[in-house]
Structure 1
Amino acid sequence: MAESKTDKEHPLANILINVIIPVLILSYLSKDPALQEKLGKVARPWHIGPLKAMFLALAMPLGYGIWHYVKTRKGNFFSALGLISVLLSGGLTVYLWNKDGTVKPNAGLFFGIKEALIPLVLGVAILTSHRTASPLIRVFLYNDNIFDIPKIENRVAEVSGQSEYDRLLLGATQLFATSFFLSSLMNLGLAQWFFRGFNATAVDALEKYNSIIASVTGWGLLVIGVPMVVFLFFTLRKLLKGLETLTGFKDDELMLPR
């Protein structure tokens, strides 16, 4: 039993490897070296172009997903999410970029929709998974890397509190999903803000497009990431308070020792 606990991956590490790092690769490595030279700018060694950057970004969630499957014989949710995110981001970039250095019209709107789509799908998936055998709230937040779930559920059975326990988890699921819906709206708004005044037919449109994507990615971690962390903390505190009332356990008894 102890071995299986040790083998479990942390959800944040999963998100970092499968989602965040691939997005950063797409944002900062996608510049076209030929275009950089055409614009009189220095082509850095890490400027490998959109196609190569997309394949490199795809390699991370794909490789991690294969490794995870070989190890556990189970699919990895975050690897699938990372693959979808990279395909959307990289595929959109390849579609929008023109060889003459211009960008297709409405690039900002397309990119904003793409940015909003992933958290929107996640929010819907979290809500709809609540009634399944594998609720996503147990992947992101209420999992046995953080909580002593067997002890909690044994106490719930002792006090005949299953219905209240189910309502508590449903409330936490709804709150957690709301944070992703909020993120979706903020992603769309942030993209539109940075793309305001963007000229898709300018000679340096590709350069500006890539710069805007990097800005959206960088500022998104702050403007969207901080509120989501606050929302996550609020959800966690509300869940802990409800579990404490239901079970009589204190925080340090509900959570595993770190």
Structure 2
Amino acid sequence: MPDPKPKQEHPLANILVNVVVPALVLSFLSKDPEIQVKLGKVARPWHIGPMWAMIIALVLPLGYGIWHYIQTRKGNFFSALGLISVLLSGGLTLYLWNDDGSVKENAGLLFGLKEGLIPLFLGFAILSSRKSATPLIRVFLYNDTIFDIPKIEGRISQRGEESRYSGLLDGATKLFAASFFLSAVMNVGLAQWFFRGFDAEAIDALEVYNAIIGKLQWAGFIAIGVPLMGILFLILTRLLKGLRDLTGLKDDELMMPR
């Protein structure tokens, strides 16, 4: 009997566990009951303090990644990057939080650089893989789960269009890498924006820090993710147009059947 088809990760569950729920946890659970009383505010039952809120926000995506691996028995490149991001966030937070409840003055810059590090790495990795045996664009975008690559390359070979085909993929690779460089810059800028006016010496500095990180989670997903999806759509559109010209095939012949 054929092996059972591995379970697929649900994109909505991914977004909820990795973005939405951690952002909500950091935004609403971070308040310290004792500090709330000192500030003359009401301490709610869900106010568990900045440390526990940060731990929960980090454990959720980490636990989900482990659960997903157990379910699928298959590694995932983006899940691995998510795990690295979680560990970096936790390690950086431990460094930025002082024992007296204050936060280091350069928190905004350092967290922004952390947020920009992974897309910057991906951009350089994609760009440097252009001439390798396995360009990363074939892993992320131009692969046999989306395109009927054997049919496409067979037609390319018949028409002697190998040079133009390589140029098309090279252009798509550069644009794809540029989207990650743009994401890196926007991540740094977004962190600077949200950390503007942050008082690192305030009595509730840790709570405010967590609230800012929570805002960065959802704001980054919207403000950065949406434009990048637009760039991805542009790349796919240009790829399809170029492949139609090179092969004479229609879109439904270029793509794998769904």
Which TM class, normalised by the smaller chain length? 0.7 to 0.9
1:1-258 correspondence runs (5 A): 7=6, 13=11, 17=14, 21-24=17-20, 26-30=22-26, 36-40=32-36, 41-44=43-46, 48-65=52-69, 68=72, 70-71=73-74, 75-258=75-258
TM-score, with structure 2 as normaliser: 0.83
Higher relative contact order (CA 8 A, sep 6+): 2
Tell me: CA distance 1:236–1:31, structure 2 relative to 1, closer, same or farther (3 Å): closer
Which ranges in structure 2 are unaligned for 5 or more consecutive residues?
A: 37-42
Do 1:62 and 1:79's aligned partners in 2 also have CA atoms closer than 8 Å?
A: no
C-alpha separation between the residues in 2 aligned to 1:95 and 1:25?
24
Q: Matched residue of 1:131: which SS? A: coil
C-alpha separation between the residues in 1 aligned to 2:19 and 2:89?
8
Do 2:31 and 2:48's aligned partners in 1 also have CA atoms closer than 8 Å?
A: no
Do 1:97 and 1:206's aligned partners in 2 also have CA atoms closer than 8 Å?
A: yes
Tell me: CA distance 1:180–1:97, structure 2 relative to 1, closer, same or farther (3 Å): same
- State the identity as a percent: 54
C-alpha separation between the residues in 2 aligned to 1:257 and 1:123?
30
Q: Which structure has the greater CA radius of gyration?
A: 2
Tell me: CA distance 1:169–1:242, structure 2 relative to 1, closer, same or farther (3 Å): same
Tell me: CA distance 1:33–1:235, structure 2 relative to 1, closer, same or farther (3 Å): closer
C-alpha separation between the residues in 1 aligned to 2:239 and 2:136?
15
Do 2:31 and 2:47's aligned partners in 1 also have CA atoms closer than 8 Å?
A: no
Q: Matched residue of 1:181: which SS? A: helix
TM-score, with structure 1 as normaliser: 0.83
Q: Aligned partner of 1:60: which letter?
A: Y
| Equivalent residues, number | 248
C-alpha separation between the residues in 2 aligned to 1:249 and 1:152?
8
Structure 1 segments of 4+ aligned residues over 6 angstroms from their partners: 31-34
C-alpha separation between the residues in 1 aligned to 2:197 and 2:143?
45
C-alpha separation between the residues in 2 aligned to 1:31 and 1:222?
17
Q: Matched residue of 1:217: which SS? A: helix
C-alpha separation between the residues in 2 aligned to 1:185 and 1:129?
22
Q: Aligned partner of 1:149: which letter?
A: I
Tell me: CA distance 1:204–1:21, structure 2 relative to 1, closer, same or farther (3 Å): same
Q: Aligned partner of 2:192: which letter?
A: Q
User: 1:54-105: CA deviations, max 9, x gaps?
Assistant: 334322334434655x45xxx4322221111111112212222234432122
Do 1:187 and 1:224's aligned partners in 2 also have CA atoms closer than 8 Å?
A: yes
Q: Aligned partner of 1:59: which letter?
A: G
Which ranges in structure 1 are unaligned for 5 or more consecutive residues?
A: none
C-alpha separation between the residues in 2 aligned to 1:109 and 1:124?
22
